[in-house]
Amino acid sequence: MPSTLSPSTAKLIACPECDLLQREIPLPPGGAAICPRCEAVLYRNTPGSLDRTLALLLASVILFVLANAFPIVGIESRGNRNATTLFGAVLTLWDEDMPIVAGLVFFTTIFAPAFELFALTAILAAIRWGLRSRPLPRVFRLVLAARPWSMVEVFMLGVLVAVVKLSHLAHITPGIALWSYGALIAIFAAAMSTFNAHELWERLTFDR
């Protein structure tokens, strides 16, 4: 049940939409704090949200490992069959004298997503099992900074477009990695929908 904020002795919080500075109030389970000026949701009280997020992130980590360990697609033409992993494609771009493209593909489809997944999973696991560490807030800030560079969805769109265009020239066989990436996008989106950043910051601040 939504609830608007009113002045109190609680700490201040700024609205992410209109920057209105206001004070936090305690919320009932399932409640949400609404900005009185722009009606944006400031934060929610969703019991167990971090545990659900952690479970979904662990599934995402497994899918990410599978997606990078197996070929994306198999291409068969005139009796010749080729299949490669995403990292293999990066190495091919490097060998073809395209180091900038290879670096961008590696950073946006392997390094940044891996860092976001593994770092956020480690933070939530540390909180879940009561492991206190002062660097955790800094690591979470790095996760937020790396998020715009994680472009798995863009990569998948490019792969699908390429598969459609090549389908009339060669026989295309979807690999384990392609299905893993599809499941990864769906499960990671579910993890982010249950993720409560406000609660995480509360836990990190308390641990400090």
The full set of domain ranges for the chain reads 2-44, 49-207
Question: Which among 132, 83, 120, 131 is positioned nearest to 194, based on CA atoms?
Answer: 120
Residue 183: CA count within 13 A, CB half-sphere: 18
Contacts of 182 (CB under 8 A, 6+ apart): 156
Q: What is the pLDDT of residue 9?
A: 52
Q: What is the pLDDT of residue 119?
A: 93
Contacts of 104 (CB under 8 A, 6+ apart): none
Contact 202, 88 (CB under 8 A): no
Q: Specify the residue for token string 């990569």.
A: 155
Q: What is the pLDDT of residue 185?
A: 92
Question: Which among 159, 195, 183 is positioned nearest to 74, based on CA atoms?
Answer: 159
Backbone angles phi, psi at 2, to 5 degrees: -60, 155
Contact 181, 107 (CB under 8 A): no
**pLDDT per residue as tens, the chain (208 positions):** 444 444 445 677 778 778 778 887 777 777 778 888 787 777 777 777 888 999 999 999 999 999 999 988 877 777 677 778 888 889 988 998 899 999 999 999 999 999 999 999 999 998 888 776 678 888 888 998 988 888 888 888 888 887 777 777 777 788 888 899 999 999 999 998 888 887 788 777 655 5
Q: What is the pLDDT of residue 57?
A: 95
**111 DSSP assignment:** I
Q: What is the pLDDT of residue 4?
A: 46
Q: What is the pLDDT of residue 79?
A: 67
Q: What is the pLDDT of residue 203?
A: 74
How far apart are the C-alpha atoms of 3 and 51, rounded to whole Å?
24
Q: Which secondary structure element, helix H or strand E, spans residue 30, and what is its range? A: none
Paired tokens of 169: 């020239």
The listed CATH number (1.10.3470, 1.20.140, 3.30.450, 1.20.1300) that belongs to domain 49-207:
1.20.140
CA torsion sign for 120, 125, 126, 127 is positive
